[in-house]
Amino acid sequence: MRVTSKGQVTIPQNVRENMGILPSETEIEFMQDESGRWYIVKAKTAKKRDSRFRTAHQTGKLTMSTDDIMALTRGESWRSS
């Protein structure tokens, strides 16, 4: 395995699959045992967070009707309902 100039290596696909390492979702840690050997382990995560885009609908509040939005896009005054 070759190390890039940025210190990066590619974890082989079969290792990623076997360890359950997913791109952009999994943190890993480097651990050293008492004999000096290094290991890669999945970091313990407190809770899997949902994407902010998947939860955005829960915070948005609808304050305008479709007719009000269409009136604004046509340059008409906003008639509050």
Q: What is the CATH number of domain 1-44?
A: 2.10.260
Q: Please state, in angstroms and as integers, the Cα–Cα distance from residue 5 to each residue in 8, 9, 34, 67, following that order.
A: 7, 10, 29, 57
Domain locations in the chain as residue ranges: 1-44
pLDDT at residue 79 in the model = 59
Q: What percent of the chain has pLDDT over 90?
A: 41
pLDDT band at 36 (very low <50, low <70, confident <90, very high): very high
pLDDT at residue 3 in the model = 93
pLDDT band at 81 (very low <50, low <70, confident <90, very high): low
pLDDT at 1 over 90: no
pLDDT at residue 80 in the model = 57
- Report field, pTM of the whole predicted structure over 0.75: no
